[in-house]
Amino acid sequence: MRLLDQLDLPGDLAGSSPGQLRRLAAEIREEIITTVSRVGGHLGPSLGVVELTIALHAELHSPKDRIVWDVGHQSYPHKLLTGRACDFATIRTRGGLSGFPKPSESDHDAFGTGHSSTSVSVGVGLAEAARISGGPDPGRVVAVIGDGALTGGMAYEGLNQAGHLQTPLIVVLNDNDMSIKKNVGAMSTYLSRLRTDPHLYRLRRDFERRVQRLPGIGERVHAVGEQFKDGVKGALVPGMLFEELGFTYIGVVDGHEIESLRANIRRALKVDGPVLLHVKTVKGKGYGPAEDAPERFHGISPFSVATGKTKPGGPKPMSYTEAFGRALVALAHEDERIVGITAAMAAGTGLDLLEAAFPRRFFDVGIAEGHAVGFAAGLAAAGLRPVVALYSTFLQRAYDQVIHDVCLQDLPVVFAIDRAGLVGEDGPTHHGAFDLSYLRAVPGLTLFVPRDEADLQRLLATALSMDGPVAIRYPRGAGLGVPLPDPLTPLPPSGPWVEVLEEGAGVLLLAVGTGVGVATGAAASLRQSGVTATVAAVRRVKPLDREALLPLLRTHGAVVTLEENAVRGGFGSGVLELLQEEGLLCKVGLVGLPDDYVPHGDIAGLHREIGFCPEAVAARALALL
């Protein structure tokens, strides 16, 4: 019988022998590999922190002591050690465990995460709240953050505040030289030096001990004070940056040696103030294919454990992401001003194709979406044509820069918004549910929604021919398999921005993006009920094409709008605004994502649950009629 099933976890970890903990680590790895091979998920990050998670839970008393997992990609061992081993096979499936920390799922999940670089700020808040509240034993707070997340500015804001307040917070730097792919930037170079020269830390400690023992000199060193200490730090102290921020730096510690980890965690717990524990880990540790290809195994679909290869499926059309990447490379061949920017998501956004073709015109800024947009604004102000490729849910993190740095300046920056709409098993932290709503409110921004991959390529060419800011939002996954445009030319200023696909007399179905396919399916269902529907695909959501839409709205007494976006403030709201401005009266039904956070699960199943499917839309239309 497995220790994972025998022990009362996490409480029994403190008294377990080193041999038992190593055996437990092997069992956890086997469980994670087996489960993720079946349902997919974040394999490499979780395999890399197995020993670290065991050590933390062996020295802490969760949930009184709270662990905040930055992003949460690496939380699978934590789930297995906190009472969820029996349910672990359900992870990322509808009604099962979330793939991220979720307080409603367990008291051991101190905070819900899914986006990067937030853990330090949250940890400072939790620790300071405990200090304000008082109490005899408020517990300790640990923030576990990866070196990739240290490319995000919010992490430094949290470090700065913790150092200023001398917050009793332990920050565990999980350093594996990776985010999703190889890290970039000056911080990565700095950490690489610390990682490859751990003897510097031992040298500094030995030096300090020996100086203190010298008769008379030790006292003089103390008296000389900060100037001498700063000189010693500059020459000998790895982690000087963190020490200057007010942290006690401990490291570099082998993240796969449980006893060493436990000893250093105990040491950190004795410090009355902020501590940074620098831990070196290997992403994908314990599974050869994941160690050899950490980027591919960061998040992976079901695969064969024996070979590491993903399980074959049927042939699929080109994905929207690839269609975007190919079109951008083709357009970059024609216009040397075009540059691409992403935030640690080159392959996920298709910009890896631009990187291969034009490496000097590709920029990966790390997990720093606000900087990505501000950087793009500077490039555009200097005459270039930047394309910022981000996931919808991550562009939310740069909203101020979109408004202030780009749109207020009326700069020609193109936002390529991937993963718009529901993304499936990653759930509410990653669903692209709000971009139409939060972008439609921004003056001066043109907002395109393609209905297929060919439309995406045409609209990208159109956006790069325009003089102001443009956003294009499109879904995750395979396109529709339609022929791609050749040659790739922009649409004229007049559009067409609204295309009537089917003509009818009963109800008007106005759809954008993935809603177009749902609308045509609903029209077929309505025909069986004796109702003919007009189906129109809208390419430009902001500004709406009034000349094309008003004749349609005036000739139909019932309208249903369809969008894979929150219905509050989205495309349907824009249609309602147009009706109000024109004084038109008709029955309107808005179909989209509910005013709630859609859970995780397979996309088709989620669509059925929320009524974003032909049958539900047809029923809605009949109810209006």
Q: What is the DSSP string of 177-245?
A: SBSSSB--SHHHHHHHHHHH-THHHHHHHHHHHHHHHSTTHHHHHHHHTHHHHHHHHHHH-TTHHHHHT
Strand pairing class (533-538; 498-502): antiparallel
- pLDDT value of position 185: 59
Residues with Cβ within 8 Å of residue 77, at least 6 apart in sequence: 28, 32, 46, 49, 50, 53, 54
Residue 221, classified by CB atoms within 10 Å of its CB into exposed (0-12), middle (13-18) or buried (19+), is middle
User: Which residue out of 280, 283, 440, 451 is catalytically annotated?
Assistant: 283
Determine the 3-state secondary structure of 142 from DSSP. strand
Q: Are 80 and 88 spatial neighbours (Cβ–Cβ below 8 Å)?
A: yes
Q: Is 397 a catalytic residue?
A: yes
CA 197, CA 231: separation in Å to the nearest integer? 19
| Structural domains of the chain, with CATH | 3-198+238-292 (3.40.50.970), 320-473 (3.40.50.970), 498-624 (3.40.50.920)
Determine the 3-state secondary structure of 83 from DSSP. coil
> 10-residue block means of pLDDT along the chain (625 residues)?
94 96 97 95 95 98 96 95 96 95 96 94 96 87 93 93 96 80 60 54 54 58 43 51 91 94 96 95 94 88 91 86 98 98 95 98 95 98 98 97 98 98 95 98 98 98 98 96 96 96 95 98 96 97 98 96 97 97 95 97 96 97 93
Strand pairing class (248-254; 275-280): parallel
CA torsion angle 64 69 70 75 (round to 10) = -160
Residue with tokens 């050749």: 486
Provide long-range contacts, Cβ within 8 A and 24+ apart, for 11-18.
13/54, 13/57, 13/58, 13/81, 14/58, 14/59, 16/58, 18/258, 18/259
Q: Which of 316, 334, 350 is nearest to 487 (CA)?
A: 334
**614-to-515, 522, 528, 601, 604 alpha-carbon distances in Å:** 9, 4, 13, 19, 12
Q: Which of 573, 509, 518 is nearest to 541 (CA)?
A: 573
- At 409, the amino acid letter reads Q
- Cβ density class 15-43: b for 16+ within 10 Å, e for less: ebeeeebbebbebbbebbbebbbebbbbb
Residues with Cβ within 8 Å of residue 271, at least 6 apart in sequence: 168, 248
> DSSP letter at 312?
P
Q: Give, for 619, the enclosing helix (H) or strand (E).
A: helix 614-624
How many residues can be counted in the chain?
A: 625
Q: Are 433 and 565 spatial neighbours (Cβ–Cβ below 8 Å)?
A: yes
- pLDDT value of position 234: 43
User: Which residue out of 79, 326, 397, 473 is catalytically annotated?
Assistant: 397
Strand pairing class (540-542; 446-448): antiparallel
Q: Are 42 and 8 spatial neighbours (Cβ–Cβ below 8 Å)?
A: no
CA 328, CA 317: separation in Å to the nearest integer? 19
Q: Give, for 375, the enclosing helix (H) or strand (E).
A: helix 369-381
Does pTM surpass 0.85? Answer: yes
Determine the 3-state secondary structure of 171 from DSSP. strand
User: Which residue out of 31, 51, 59, 369 is catalytically annotated?
Assistant: 369
First to last CA, the chain: 63
CA 25, CA 31: separation in Å to the nearest integer? 10
Q: Is 283 a catalytic residue?
A: yes
In the chain, DSSP finds a helix count (H) and a strand count (E) of 27, 17
Residue with tokens 């604004």: 377
HEC string for 447-500: EECCCCHHHHHHHHHHHHCCCCCEEEECCCCECCCCCCCCCCCCCCCCCCCEEE
CA 461, CA 328: separation in Å to the nearest integer? 8
Determine the 3-state secondary structure of 571 from DSSP. helix
Backbone phi and psi for residue 104, each to the nearest 5 degrees, phi listed first: -70, -15
- Please give the order of strands across the beta sheet that includes 338-342: 362-364, 338-342, 385-391, 414-418, 470-473, 446-448, 540-542
Q: Are 535 and 502 spatial neighbours (Cβ–Cβ below 8 Å)?
A: yes
CA 82, CA 558: separation in Å to the nearest integer? 53
- pLDDT value of position 226: 38
Structure tokens at 144: 């576990």
Q: Is 182 a catalytic residue?
A: no
CA 161, CA 269: separation in Å to the nearest integer? 19
